[in-house]
């Protein structure tokens, strides 16, 4: 599986993602400029990543302008053919704005940027400690959509405490039902606010992010 990382003006976690994939996860990876359209060389066995950052300065709404980049047209077609797409933080926001994922990311309930490690409850597994860093990470959707997401097992990660309890005190941004990450119905598009690429190196003291990539079937 090869990886492509889309770079938008204002992306600032693109190099973290490129470095994590190439040097910590030993993957073949290529940077893709948002103004290009070509995904030549990628097949539906591969994965396109939308990294974190402040694309277009977060103007209008986080991800609302990036959604119209030429490369996003190709990413939408790639996803429709079954190719894997992962959006982290700003990338998650772009996926929701592109309607590749349901719901929306709004300003944190406490109105402040939050930057810390937070535990995530994962499907069937132990809680993983993954960094969060965002001002607009409050996932929201209508009740019907939320019920559907949960009924279809589309919620990948919930904010939880160290013991794995999904409690409001472990919610860093006021996201509904403590939702930190979701996937689409087909299971090939993943979006999450926490940054697994910042937790894949023993040198940096945390390798829980590797388990996230593994859980998503990307290793
Ligand atoms: N680290 C990020 O990707 C931040 C995303 C976005 N700019 C926000 O503050 O919510």
Check residue 124 and give its pLDDT: 77
For ligand 1, the distance from its centroid to the CA atom of residue 7, given in whole angstroms, is: 14
Q: Which residues are catalytic?
A: 89, 195, 197
Percent of the chain with pLDDT over 90: 98
Give the strand pairing for 84-88 and 189-192: parallel
- 4-31 pLDDT tens trace: 999 999 999 999 999 999 999 999 999 9
* DSSP one-letter code for 139: E
- 51 CA → ligand 1 middle, Å: 10
Average pLDDT estimate for 207-219: 97
Residue 149 predicted with pLDDT over 90: yes
**40 backbone dihedrals φ, ψ, rounded to 5°:** -55, 135
User: Domain range for residue 142?
Assistant: 3-215
Pocket of ligand 1 (CB under 6 A): 13, 52-54, 58, 62, 89-90, 133-137
Name the CA dihedral angle for 119, 168, 155, 209, rounded to a multiple of 10 degrees.
Answer: -10
- Output the pLDDT for position 19: 98
Q: Which of 89, 104, 137 to mutate to test the pocket of ligand 1 (most atoms within 8 A of CB)?
A: 89
User: Ligand 1 centroid to 187 CA: how many Å?
Assistant: 24
ipTM attached to this prediction = 0.96
> Does residue 54 register a pLDDT over 90?
yes
CB atoms within 10 A of CB 171: 21
Query: Which of the four pLDDT bands, split at 50, 70 and 90, describes residue 125?
Result: confident
pLDDT (tens digit per residue) in 126-141: 899 999 999 999 999 9
pLDDT in tens, 59-114: 999 999 999 999 999 999 999 999 999 999 999 999 999 999 999 999 999 999 99
Strand, helix or coil for residue 85: strand
Count of structural domains, the chain: 1
Residue 155: enclosing H or E segment and its boundaries? Answer: strand 155-160
Which sign, positive or negative, has the C-alpha torsion 192, 193, 197, 199? negative
Helix (H) or strand (E) holding 150: helix 143-151
CA–centroid distance, residue 31 to ligand 1 (Å): 20
Residue of minimum CA distance from atom 5 in ligand 1: 90
CATH, residue 185: 3.40.50.880
**Mean pLDDT in the chain?**
98
**Which of 93, 172, 173 to probe ligand 1 with, by most ligand atoms within 8 A of CB?**
93
């Amino acid at each position: 599986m090869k990886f492509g990382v889309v770079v938008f003006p204002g992306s600032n976690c693109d190099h973290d993602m490129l470095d994590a994939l190439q040097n910590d996860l030993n993957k073949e990876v290529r940077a893709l400029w948002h103004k290009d359209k070509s995904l030549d060389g990628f097949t539906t066995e591969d994965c396109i990543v939308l990294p974190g950052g402040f694309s277009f300065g977060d103007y209008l709404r986080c991800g609302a302008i990036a959604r119209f980049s030429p490369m996003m047209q190709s990413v939408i077609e790639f996803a429709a053919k079954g190719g894997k797409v992962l959006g982290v933080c700003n990338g998650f926001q772009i996926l929701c704005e592109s309607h590749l994922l349901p719901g929306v990311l709004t300003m944190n309930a406490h109105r402040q940027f939050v930057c810390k490690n937070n535990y995530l409850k994962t499907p069937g597994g132990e809680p993983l400690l993954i960094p969060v860093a965002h001002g607009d990470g409050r996932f929201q959707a209508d009740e019907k959509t939320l019920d559907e997401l949960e009924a279809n097992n589309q919620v990948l990660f919930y904010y939880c405490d160290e013991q794995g309890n999904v409690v409001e005190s472990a919610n860093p941004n006021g996201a509904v039902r403590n939702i930190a990450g979701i996937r689409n119905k087909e299971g090939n598009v993943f979006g999450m606010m926490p940054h697994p690429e910042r937790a894949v190196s023993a040198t940096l003291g945390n390798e829980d992010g590797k388990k996230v990539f593994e859980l998503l079937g990307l290793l």
